[in-house]
């Protein structure tokens, strides 16, 4: 487990330590835009078959690293493994996305939910983390992750993804006590799950708050950020002789950057609607920043991708504390060569900001 890291610039940047070039990874970097991923998924039979087989999860986690000089690997899994382990019965409908066989509708439903034991109920994820760490052999750090309590709650109450979150928001306003009880149970579950991943070998963790930005300002602070803060306070922050950085990412969270920066994490992820230079001025030296190129720029020519990378690097400016990433996950239609041009541009153009 203690194999020395050959490339630790990702971890160093998250802790605002000096780096030679800006590190880069991509959300959803192991995914459908890669033909080798599509072949592995076909072999696994379906998406959950891939997630629940530690060897195959390891195989797809490493695929982008065979192609590109990325500075981190991210565990191949899904944010909905936690509600699945709580007994809601996750399945994927072709063209429809994730669905649950059971939904959470009442205080009694919430009361009945267990807090999953990471080793017993989510052992396949812990096995995948251990397998990936072994196979990485110190090449780059491994990122573990989870969904945020609010994001997980929306899927559990709606029974799947939603355009307007009408059931979850009705519960939030009609029965805030029940929603708080659900979020509290999810915060306990996510804390245990992420700590399990850290013990198994994850060297940094990210909390994905995909739907926090759909809340009003007051509701975001009370029903989303408060629970992420609770998780951050309960995480193992040092393991295996080094710090374990924590990244919080709220999509459409630009309104609340100062509040998120005060939540205790080491870094905050930005979507592409924020200007990274302004974000840096707003949060000062409190946290590192991760992001934040619009993923659809990858549909453009390599020269345009390079120009956009140059613009974002210049906006962030001199010094460490920037992890380059997309503002959300890479999309399935992207040409893998364009992803390569993006990564190359970050490494080539960023050296001047670290002298």
Q: Active site residue: 33, 68, 155, 227, which one? A: 155
Closest by Cα among 30, 23, 3 to 69: 23
Mapping DSSP onto H, E and C, the string for the chain reads CCCCCCCCHHHHHHCCCCCCCCCECCCCCCCCCCHHHHHHHHHHCCHHHHHCCHHHHHHHHHHHHHHCCCCCEECCCCCCHHHHHHHHCEEEECCCEEEECCCCCCHHHHHHCCCCCHHHHCHHHHHHHHHHHHHHCCCCCEEEEEECHHHHHHHHHHCECCCCCHHHHHHHHHCHHHHHHHHHHHHHHHHHHHHHHHHHCCCEEEEEECCHHHCCHHHHHHHHHHHHHHHHHHCCCEECCEECCEEEEECCCHHHHHHHHCCCCCEEECCCCCCHHHHHHHHCCCCEEEEEECHHHHHCCHHHHHHHHHHHHHHHCCCCCEEEEECCCCCCCCCHHHHHHHHHHHHHHHHHHHC
Residue 31 annotated as part of some ligand binding site = yes
Identify the pLDDT of residue 202. 98
Q: How far apart, in Å, are the Cα atoms of 131 and each of 35, 54, 134, 232? A: 23, 7, 5, 26
- Tell me, what's the pLDDT at 96? 74
* Whole-number Å distance between alpha carbons of 241 and 343: 30
Catalytic residue among 41, 99, 133, 229: 41
9 is catalytic: no
Residue 202 among known ligand-binding residues: no
* 32 noted as active-site residue: yes
What pLDDT score does 95 carry?
73
> Looking at the DSSP assignment, which residues form a beta bridge with residue 91?
99
Distance of alpha carbon 297 from the chain centroid? 20
User: Does 9 carry a binding-site annotation?
Assistant: no
Contact criterion met (CB below 8 Å) for 297 and 335: no
Residue 78 assigned as binding residue = yes
Residue with tokens 């780096």: 19
**210 annotated to a ligand binding site:** yes
Is residue 124 part of the annotated active site? The answer reads no
Which are the contacts of 278, defined by CB distance < 8 A and separation ≥ 6?
none
239 among annotated binding-site residues: no
Q: Is 220 annotated as a binding residue?
A: no
Residue 41 is among the residues annotated as catalytic for this protein: yes
CA distance linking residue 350 with residue 213, whole number of Å = 30
Distance in Å from the first CA to the final CA of the chain: 33
Cis amide linkage into residue 292, ω under 30° from 0: yes
How far is Cα 115 from Cα 118, in angstroms, rounded to an integer?
9
Is 61 annotated in a binding site? The answer is no
Give, for all 355 residues of the chain, the pLDDT tens digit: 456 899 999 999 999 999 999 999 999 999 999 999 999 999 998 899 999 999 999 999 999 999 999 999 999 999 999 999 999 999 987 777 899 999 999 999 999 999 999 999 999 999 999 999 999 999 999 999 999 999 999 999 999 999 999 999 999 999 999 999 999 999 999 999 999 999 999 999 999 999 999 999 999 999 999 999 999 999 999 999 999 999 999 999 999 999 999 999 999 999 999 999 999 999 999 999 999 999 999 999 999 999 999 999 999 999 999 999 999 999 999 999 999 999 999 999 999 999 9
The answer to whether the pTM exceeds 0.95 is yes
CA–CA gap between residue 317 and residue 352 (Å, rounded): 10
Give the per-residue pLDDT at 93.
77
Give the chain's domains with CATH numbers. Answer: 32-288 (3.20.20.210)
So what's the pLDDT on residue 3?
Answer: 65
The tokens describing 343, both together, are 């990564």
pLDDT for residue 177:
98
**32, 67, 130, 282: which one is catalytic?**
32
* Residue 1 confidence (pLDDT): 46
Residue 152 and residue 186 in contact, taking contact as beta carbons nearer than 8 Å: yes
Residue 159 near residue 93, CB atoms below 8 Å: no
pLDDT at 263: 98
Please indicate whether residue 28 is annotated as part of the active site. Answer: yes
Could you report the per-residue pLDDT of 38-78, keeping only the tens digit for each? 999 999 988 999 999 999 999 999 999 999 999 999 999 99
151, 220 Cβ separation under 8 angstroms:
no
Ligand-binding site membership of 180 (annotated): no
On whether the CB atoms of residues 179 and 171 are closer than 8 A, the answer is yes
Active-site option among 8, 9, 37, 78: 78
Question: Residues 159-170, buried b or exposed e (16+ Cβ, 10 A)?
Answer: bbebeebebbbe
């Amino acid at each position: 487990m203690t194999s020395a890291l050959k490339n630790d610039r990702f971890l160093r940047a998250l802790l605002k330590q000096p780096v030679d070039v800006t590190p880069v990874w991509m959300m959803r970097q192991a995914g459908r835009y890669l033909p080798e991923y599509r072949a592995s998924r076909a072999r696994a039979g379906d998406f959950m078959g891939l997630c629940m087989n530690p060897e195959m999860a390891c195989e797809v986690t490493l695929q982008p690293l065979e192609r590109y000089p990325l500075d981190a690997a991210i565990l191949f899994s899904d944010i909905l493994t936690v509600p699945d382990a709580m007994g809601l019965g996750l399945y994927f409908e072709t063209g429809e996305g994730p669905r649950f066989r059971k939904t959470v509708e009442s205080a009694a439903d919430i009361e009945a939910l267990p807090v999953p034991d990471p080793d017993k109920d989510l052992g396949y994820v812990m096995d995948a983390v251990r397998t990936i760490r072994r196979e990485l052999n110190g090449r780059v750090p491994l990122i573990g992750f989870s969904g945020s309590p609010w994001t997980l709650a929306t899927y559990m109450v709606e029974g799947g993804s939603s355009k307007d979150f009408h059931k979850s928001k009705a519960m939030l306003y009609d029965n805030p006590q029940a929603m708080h009880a659900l979020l509290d149970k999810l915060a306990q579950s996510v804390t245990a799950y992420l700590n399990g991943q850290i013990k198994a070998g994850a060297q940094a963790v990210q909390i994905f708050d995909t739907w926090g930005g759909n809340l009003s300002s007051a509701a975001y602070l009370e029903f989303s950020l408060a629970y992420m803060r609770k998780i951050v306070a309960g995480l193992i922050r040092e393991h295996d002789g080094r710090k374990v950085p924590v990244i919080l990412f709220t999509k459409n969270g630009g309104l609340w950057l100062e509040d998120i920066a005060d939540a205790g994490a080491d870094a905050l992820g930005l979507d592409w609607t924020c200007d990274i230079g302004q974000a840096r001025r707003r949060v000062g030296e409190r946290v590192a920043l991760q992001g934040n190129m619009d993923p659809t720029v990858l549909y453009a020519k390599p020269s345009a991708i390079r120009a956009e990378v140059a613009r974002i690097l210049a906006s962030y400016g001199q010094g460490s504390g920037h992890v380059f990433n997309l503002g959300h996950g890479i999309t399935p239609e992207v040409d893998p060569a364009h992803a390569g041009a993006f990564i190359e541009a970050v490494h080539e153009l960023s050296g001047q900001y670290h002298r």
